């Protein structure tokens, strides 16, 4: 059970041993087979490319627009429409603040730039709050994006999780524990350095995020995510979340991370 905690497979080596190192019969390297990867990713890649291009255009002019998650209403068993609508409003606020901060930073005058310092300065405050607002946008898009589908996880996702956590059940136990232990977010991330999946917790949007992890699952454990429906009963909310995870979205993110890890030079070499 502790293999995944102790496994320190070097980045280049995990391609050869993949999840097998932790006892799985599945090799992560099979995901990297060109044909298999292309077949699996073709629809998602095309759609994602279009979305990324649209987002890139938005970012150039500092005008992010909120995504529409209304399709979730009535389709997340255990979460009310009111709970979700209130949450959507918070997400839209982060969009607005991100746009505002990007504009303010871009327009910073010479006095602001020359007065920057690490104790207190308007420029510093803008950078700090931008990291909070920006991550508030991205994390909520990950969260809403991995909600609302009730299909079974892809067998390859299950196999990779088994390779990193020992078993699917153990993964869920650790995810639930991370959800209870964190004040803001519990995340399952793909470690771009060694190809393993690990959970981590954030106390707020911009606090405690490890470097070089690509998030494939985001669980919002701020009280605002569940207080309307469950009061302070976070455990009940965690059960509802796990039963409503869109595992297809999670798997697509894993493929995205693996593909990008192998598509160019290693960033850490
Ligand atoms: Fe939230």
- pTM of this prediction? 0.80
* In 107-184, alpha helices (H): 110-114, 122-145, 155-165, 168-181
Token reading at 217: 């699952």
SS3 191: strand
pLDDT tens for each residue of 52-71: 666 665 555 568 999 999 99
What's the 11 CA to ligand 1 centre distance in angstroms?
A: 33
pLDDT tens for each residue of 217-227: 999 999 999 99
pLDDT over 60 (residue 6):
no
What element of type H or E holds 197?
A: strand 197-202
What's the 115 CA to ligand 1 centre distance in angstroms?
A: 34
CATH topology of domain 1-32+146-263: minor pseudopilin epsh fold (3.55.40)
The CA-to-CA distance between both ends of the chain, in Å, stands at: 30
Is the separation of the CB atoms in 196 and 14 below 8 Å? yes
pLDDT tens for each residue of 129-181: 999 999 999 999 999 999 997 799 999 999 999 999 999 999 999 999 999 99
Q: What pLDDT is recorded for position 263?
A: 79
Q: What pLDDT is recorded for position 261?
A: 83
10-24, 31-45, 62-76, 133-147: range with highest mean pLDDT: 133-147
pLDDT tens for each residue of 218-267: 999 999 999 999 999 999 999 999 999 999 999 999 999 998 888 767 65
| pLDDT > 90 in the chain, percent | 68
Mean pLDDT over the full length of the chain? 84
Task: For residue 126, name the pLDDT band (cuts at 50, 70, 90).
Answer: very high
What's the 69 CA to ligand 1 centre distance in angstroms?
A: 13
What's the 268 CA to ligand 1 centre distance in angstroms?
A: 32
**Mean pLDDT, residues 9-35:** 42
| Domain regions of the chain by residue span | 1-32+146-263, 83-145
Q: β-pairing, 197-202 with 185-191? A: antiparallel
Q: Is 18 left (phi over 0), alpha (psi -120 to 50) or beta?
A: left
What's the 179 CA to ligand 1 centre distance in angstroms?
A: 13
**Mean pLDDT, residues 73-78:** 96
What's the 1 CA to ligand 1 centre distance in angstroms?
A: 32
pLDDT tens for each residue of 82-119: 999 999 999 999 999 999 999 999 999 999 999 999 99
What whole-number distance in Å separates Cα of residue 185 and Cα of residue 187? Answer: 6
What's the 205 CA to ligand 1 centre distance in angstroms?
A: 9
Residues 6+ apart with CB under 8 A from 142: 215, 217, 218, 253
């Amino acid at each position: 059970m502790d293999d995944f905690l102790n496994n320190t497979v070097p980045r280049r080596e995990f391609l050869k041993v993949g999840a097998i190192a932790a006892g799985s019969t599945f090799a992560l390297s099979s995901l990297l087979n060109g044909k298999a990867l292309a077949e699996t990713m073709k629809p998602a890649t095309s759609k994602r490319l279009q979305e990324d291009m649209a987002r890139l255009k938005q970012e150039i002019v500092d005008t992010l627009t909120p995504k529409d998650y209304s399709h979730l209403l009535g389709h997340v068993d255990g979460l009310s429409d009111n709970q979700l609508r209130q949450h959507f409003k918070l997400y839209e606020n982060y969009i607005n603040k991100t746009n505002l901060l990007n504009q303010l930073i871009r327009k910073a005058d010479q006095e602001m730039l020359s007065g920057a310092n690490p104790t207190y300065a308007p420029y510093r405050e803008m950078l700090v709050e931008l990291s909070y607002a920006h991550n508030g946008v991205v994390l909520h898009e990950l969260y809403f994006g991995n909600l609302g589908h009730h299909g079974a996880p892809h067998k390859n996702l299950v196999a990779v999780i088994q390779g990193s956590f020992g078993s699917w059940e153990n993964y869920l136990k650790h995810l639930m524990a991370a959800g209870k232990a964190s004040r803001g977010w519990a995340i399952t991330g793909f470690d771009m350095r060694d190809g393993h999946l690990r959970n981590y917790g954030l106390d707020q949007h911009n606090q405690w995020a490890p470097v070089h992890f690509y998030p494939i699952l985001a669980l919002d454990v701020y009280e605002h995510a569940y207080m309307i429906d469950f009061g302070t009963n976070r455990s009940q909310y965690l059960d509802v979340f796990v039963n409503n995870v869109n595992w297809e979205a999670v798997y697509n993110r894993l493929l995205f991370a693996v593909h990008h890890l192998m598509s160019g030079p290693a960033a850490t070499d």
